[in-house]
Amino acid sequence: MSEKRSSFTGKIGFILAAAGSAVGLGNIWRFPYLAAKYGGGIFLLVYVLLALTFGFALMCAEIAIGRKTGKSAIGAFHDLNKKYTFIGVLASAVPIIILPYYAVIGGWVTKYITVFVSGQGAAAADGSYFGGFVSQSVEPLVFFLIFMAVTALIVLFGVEKGIEKVSKFMMPLLVVMTIGIVIYVLCQPGIGAGVKAYLVPDFASITATSLTKTILGAMGQLFYSMSLAMGIMITYGSYMKKEDHIEKSVHQIELFDTGIAILAGLMIVPAATVFGGGIEKPGPGLMFSALPVVFDKMPGGHIVGAVFFILVLFAALTSSISLMETIVSIFCDKFGWNRKVTCLVVFLGCLALGVPSSLGFGLWSHILPLGMDLLTFFDFISNSVMMPIVALLTCLFIGFVIKPVTLVEEIEQSGRFKLKKLFTVVIKYVAPICIVLILISSVLDAFGLFKI
């Protein structure tokens, strides 16, 4: 891996690329249903607090590691200290778990585009439509295959640049449309109660168990949404120029990513609370059940729905491409395979791994590891187990092996690091202690060994 790395052209290039990876289904599909599941306002509060501390520190750290070493995860950890290469290996395994089920959901989005484009949006507003769709065997698999194939073709032909160009105007459009839909939803009669449940924390209902679960859920979501703890930001950092200001860029990415997530929640959760649509037991289907109801009420809603899902598809594609690109480059670097073969192998591997997630809502719905459907199970393993472990190891590695000052120096190459103290304390103490406590209690809880 001694090739010279090209750099992003300027700061904006870096921020857009990192935001392209960060903003995706995590913000629009995952955040709202987690917020609904974990008590609305409390989840939001915990999430924002974690984003400003953990998220900030970890993202600065990963980008700095990448820029310092000029390598992606495995090479970067190897360079910093050979004994700890395994952290890079572990981080690299995360995208391999995520991509297959990410593509299953990308397939659902694709299906909903066809539904709205063919003028059947009204049918999708029916409460049982989503469940009826995902419980079939063949159709969701076909859409999963289509989404995965498009991702693979883009990576194979190296046309990400083209997609990035398109998404440069699709993303702002997505934001504008989301704001428009939020305004529409907020104007609906009786929506106040739903908005209150989403935004205002209900402290009276907190118990130790619920808080632990909320924190773990919010932490997993934070890593997922900001593409942390899986080596991706290290890779992006390796392309960053020395004069670009890491701290400022992180603030901007964070603001953008969190802002979109909170807006997406505002678009979905209150509407689902008031109009019905999957809120009784919020899960992966929430966006797909709640939004068609909103579009059905809206004048011209089928067109808005079609455009909206197309924009979501683009956000999903920029993320799935960054996931696949990471996996492909790891295999190419590690085994020296050629890119075409690697793309094919990764594509086939993802197909095989994605099938259970897709069938988990129908044919294989009786298989419930830890009481979860298969997609939620893979999601749990990557976000609530692997990513916290990688984050923990990364923090300990920085805090006690290479020392925070190594990265502070790297970050200060382009100016003063204002939140240096916060960074050091979070990386060295706060994050490791919190992650250990949360992880232990949640794993014990998941296995039913210990009730908090």
Residues that bind ligand PHE (CB under 6 A): 21-22, 24-27, 95, 98, 224-225, 227, 230, 232, 319, 322-323
CB of 93 to ligand PHE, least distance (A): 13
Q: Are 361 and 135 in contact (CB under 8 A)?
A: yes
User: Which of 389, 401, 365, 378 minimizes the C-alpha distance to 438?
Assistant: 389
Of the pair 69, 322, the CB lying nearest ligand PHE is at 322
* Choice between 33 and 224, CB closer to ligand PHE: 224
Q: 31 vs 275, which CB is nearer to ligand PHE?
A: 31
How many CB atoms neighbour CB 202 within 10 A? 12
Q: How far is the CB of 318 from ligand PHE (least distance, A)?
A: 8
Provide the total of helices (H) and of strands (E) in the chain, helices listed first.
23, 0
CA distance 428 to 20: 29
Q: Are 159 and 324 in contact (CB under 8 A)?
A: no
Fill in the amino acid letter for 424: T
Min separation Cβ 21 and ligand PHE, Å: 5
> Quick one: 110 or 424, whose CB is closer to ligand PHE?
110
Token output for 287? 């966006």
The DSSP secondary-structure symbol of 361 reads T
Tokens of 322: 């960054």
Listed in sequence order, the residues at least 6 apart from 337 whose beta carbon sits closer than 8 Å to its beta carbon are: 331, 345
User: What are the tokens at 90?
Assistant: 């572990």
- Residue 119 tokens read as 């003028």
Most distant pair of Cα atoms in the chain: their distance? 61
Reference 95, options 111, 67, 76, 72; nearest CA is 72
Task: Give the number of other Cβ atoms within 10 Å of residue 247's Cβ.
Answer: 22
Q: Which residues contact 430 (CB under 8 A, 6 or more apart)?
A: 53, 54
Distances (CA, A) of 98 to 66, 114, 143, 365: 22, 25, 17, 20
Q: Which alpha helices (DSSP H) does 276-370 contain, by range?
A: 286-297, 301-335, 339-359
Query: Which residues, at least 6 apart from 395, have a Cβ–Cβ distance to it below 8 Å?
Result: 58, 61, 427, 428, 431, 432, 435
- Closest distance to ligand PHE from the beta carbon of 133 (Å): 21
Smallest gap from Cβ 167 to ligand PHE, in A, equals 13
Residue 5 beta carbon to ligand PHE: minimum distance, rounded to whole angstroms: 20
Which residue number, 322 or 441, has a Cβ lying nearer to ligand PHE?
A: 322
C-beta separation of 356 from 334 below 8 A = no
When the beta carbons of 318 and 442 are compared against ligand PHE, the nearer one is 318
Tell me the C-alpha distance between 278 and 128, whole Å. 9
* Nearer of residues 182 and 324 to ligand PHE, judged by Cβ: 324
Judged by CB, which is closer to ligand PHE: 274, or 310?
310
State the Cα–Cα distance between residues 92 and 394, nearest whole angstrom.
13
97 vs 240, beta carbon nearer ligand PHE: 97
| Helix, strand, coil percentages, rounded to 5, for the chain | 80, 0, 20
DSSP secondary structure code for residue 402 in this structure: I
Q: How far is the CB of 230 from ligand PHE (least distance, A)?
A: 6
Least gap, CB of 221 to ligand PHE (angstroms): 9
For residue 11, the minimal CB distance to ligand PHE (Å) is: 20
Report the residue number, 201 or 259, with the smaller CB distance to ligand PHE: 259
Question: Which residue minimizes CB distance to ligand PHE?
Answer: 26
Closest contact distance (angstroms) between CB of 29 and ligand PHE is 8
Comparison of 20 and 40: residue with beta carbon closer to ligand PHE:
20
- DSSP 3-state assignment of 13? helix
C-beta of 250 vs 323, nearer to ligand PHE? 323
CB 260 to ligand PHE: min, Å: 9
286 touches 272 (CB < 8 A):
yes
CB of 28 to ligand PHE, least distance (A): 8
